[in-house]
Chains A and B, each alone.
Chain A
Amino acid sequence: MLKIDNLQVSVADKPILKGLSLDVPAGEVHAVMGPNGAGKSTLGYTLAGRNGYEVTAGSAFLNGEDLLALEPNERAAKGLFLSFQYPLEIPGVPALTFVRTALNAQRKARGEGEVSAPEFLKLVKQKAKDLRIDFDMLKRPLNVGFSGGEKKRMEVLQMALLEPKLLILDETDSGLDIDALRIVSEGVNALRAPDRSMLVITHYQRLLDYIRPDKVHVLAAGRIVASGGPELALELERTGYDRYAAEAA
């Protein structure tokens, strides 16, 4: 599904990712953990194609498709979804309009027909209910004045509607209260499928109690320095990142 090989990325001429390799097979959920500033969000932004994230070496393929050669919107149409650590506010564009525009743009890029307004509305109503999102909130400009937790829920609503192939969750658990964490995790779990993979970036074991990863990777100083099963996350909880910092240096 996702194959990253020796990825090297600079931001403002400063090397951040320094030869990162990662393989996420179809249907698997991989967690990425690591200290602040290690380059986790940088990995997400690079895969999504953000300006200013300059790839100096390496490759990234999604289902055989060279991601790095595509525009951000084309990557999305191929099935990539990045859930932002800090979702942006879109003034003046109601959440409903935004998501429908995105969905139809993706469908158009794939040569599929548009989803009609009533069809879309029916779909949204069900998914919003599952995520305990008040439907009226979707008439407001996307994320404008939403609380941190509401923004994260909106991210999950969007992924549920856009049905991507590869999900990158960048700290989707941060800022969520205990109930919201459970609801959001259920929303993400509902998306698990044999033809869908997930990269879950998090600082906390708690999320991984809900979303059970197949593998856990440690990202430190721009590289994957350790990989293991779910037990690795529990171990990190006890020991911290000190020994990886030494290894990465």
Chain B
Amino acid sequence: MNAPVRLDLRDASTFPTRRVEDWKWSDLKRFLRDAPAVSAALAVAPGGPFAALGGREIAFGNGVTADGAAEARFEGAGTLRLRFVSEAQATGHQARATVVVPARAELLVLESYEGAGSAYASNVTLGFELGEGARLTRIVLLEEPDDAISVSAAEVKVAPHAHYTQTVLASGAKLQRHETRVNHPGHGASVRLDGLYVLSGSRHADLTTVVDHQGVEGVTSQLTKGVVADSARGVFQGRIVVDRGADKTDARMGHHALILSDKAEVDAKPELEIYADDVSCAHGNTVGALDENALFYACARGIPEHEARVMLTQAFLGEVTDRIEHDGAREAAQAWLVDRLEALL
């Protein structure tokens, strides 16, 4: 994999095409030929999908904060609601934020992409830094119009004994790319990268992750699940690199998807690249239809087919939301999943 693309919406020469290996299933250039005009600033009222969970709020409206800045920085503990609100017609905007969790502090980041309007392009660049023994839980909710283009890329720097956990909930867009790159120092640090995509219509969601294990005894656990209907397309690229000397790394990655229609598509590339000794690494990848036999069994016990489909699909995907430890965040994620599935099935 090449160095990460530095996307700048103001410069069309930075738009990746499918010839860039890392973007081969998410050809941005195909959907966005030229640099779009810049979106007008948008005033955002406090709230958002995680409002009930409280905490500090930093909101961007079409790429700018209430102070008119295109960049924000947060350092601290507790709960941070990081909102990227888009409301634009055929224009583009980008924002940048840095989140620092001091040593031994604990932070919950509730990150939401709230889109309205149509055909906008949004580009978000994020940095997360965890001090020694810090804990960061990041929940990402992507809810955007089906003709929007949305790219979000994060660099995560983890210190020894720190714990980084993220769960991405994606419902797709014309092109929705969510990328996470993690520097894993090992030495008692652990990383969990989970994801869920529920896609209908012609929506496209791309969950890409790269974890680079640089020190001994690092732990990474990854579970991504998805369901695609109609002519939707789900993309999962998961890459775990274990550097020379990063011995005793323990890394597991799973991606499992359900395809509900002939025209829907899932592209998956799980990769383990190991240059160290005595590591325990595994990955699993399955893509298939709902088990018709289990479905019949449920119907034969009296459950109507539609209800049985919802139940089985929800049980399949629910494994990801069940892994969220924070009660409020887990309940919000479960509610999102139920709503999305009701609309899809």
Contacts and interface: CB of A to CB of B under 8 A. Distances in A.
Interface of A: 48-51, 71-73, 75-77, 81-82, 84, 87-93, 98-99, 101-103, 105-106, 109, 141, 158, 162
Contact of A72 (B299, B312, B314): B299
B307 A105 contact: yes
A31 B319 CA distance: 42
Interface string B308-328: 100110111011000000000
Residue among B298, B301, B311 facing the most chain A CB atoms (10 A cut-off): B301
A91 B315 contact: yes
B303 A73 contact: yes
7 contacts: A50-B300, A88-B293, A89-B294, A90-B315, A92-B312, A92-B319, A106-B302
A82 B301 CA distance: 8
Contact of B312 (A73, A90, A103): A90
Contacts of B67: none
A113 to B, nearest CB: 15
Nearest to A107: B302
Interface residues of B, number: 23
A72 B294 contact: no
A88 B297 contact: yes
A53 to B, nearest CB: 10
B102 to A, nearest CB: 38
Contacts of B336: none
B302 A50 contact: no
B305 interface: yes
Contact of B297 (A75, A77, A90, A162): A90
Given A51-B292, A93-B311, A73 B305 contact: yes
Contacts of B291: 88
A98 B302 contact: no
Contacts of B298: 90, 98, 102
A81 B300 CA distance: 7
B304 interface: yes
A215 B214 CA distance: 73
B101 to A, nearest CB: 33
B296 interface: yes
Interface in B120-170: none
A105 B296 contact: no
B292 A76 contact: no
Given A71-B305, A75-B300, 15 more contacts: A50-B296, A50-B300, A71-B299, A72-B305, A73-B301, A76-B300, A76-B301, A87-B297, A89-B294, A90-B312, A93-B312, A93-B315, A99-B301, A105-B303, A141-B315
A158 B294 contact: no
Contacts of A141: 315
In the A-B complex, the 5 residue pairs with the closest CB atoms: A92-B315, A76-B302, A106-B302, A88-B297, A102-B301
A158 B305 contact: no
A141 to B, nearest CB: 8
Contact of B316 (A50, A76, A92): A92
B307 to A, nearest CB: 7
Given A93-B311, A93-B312, A162 B302 contact: yes
B312 A102 contact: no
Contacts of A105: 302-304, 307
Contact of A162 (B301, B304, B314, B316): B301
Contacts of A71: 299, 304-305
A91 B302 contact: no
Interface centre among A75, A84, A87, A102 (most CB of B within 10 A): A102
A91 B225 CA distance: 14
A73 B301 CA distance: 6
A92 B316 CA distance: 6
B61 to A, nearest CB: 39
Contacts of A84: 297
A1 B318 CA distance: 42
Nearest to A91: B315
A72 B318 CA distance: 26
A2 to B, nearest CB: 16
Nearest to B308: A73
Given A93-B311, A93-B312, A101-B311, A88 B294 contact: yes
A184 to B, nearest CB: 18
Interface-centre pick from B293, B300, B302, B315 (highest chain A CB count, 10 A): B302
Contact of A73 (B294, B304, B311): B304
B298 to A, nearest CB: 7
Q: Among B300, B314, B315, B319, which residue has the most Cβ atoms of chain A within 10 A? A: B300
B291 to A, nearest CB: 8
Nearest to B313: A92
B100 to A, nearest CB: 37
B345 to A, nearest CB: 16
A162 B303 CA distance: 12
A186 B24 CA distance: 62
A91 B290 CA distance: 11
A101 B311 CA distance: 9
A153 to B, nearest CB: 16
A59 B156 CA distance: 66
A73 B295 CA distance: 11
Contact of A103 (B296, B302, B319): B302
- Which one of B293, B298, B314 has the highest number of Cβ atoms from chain A below 10 Å of its Cβ? B298
Nearest to A50: B296
Contact of B299 (A73, A81, A92): A73
B301 A158 contact: yes
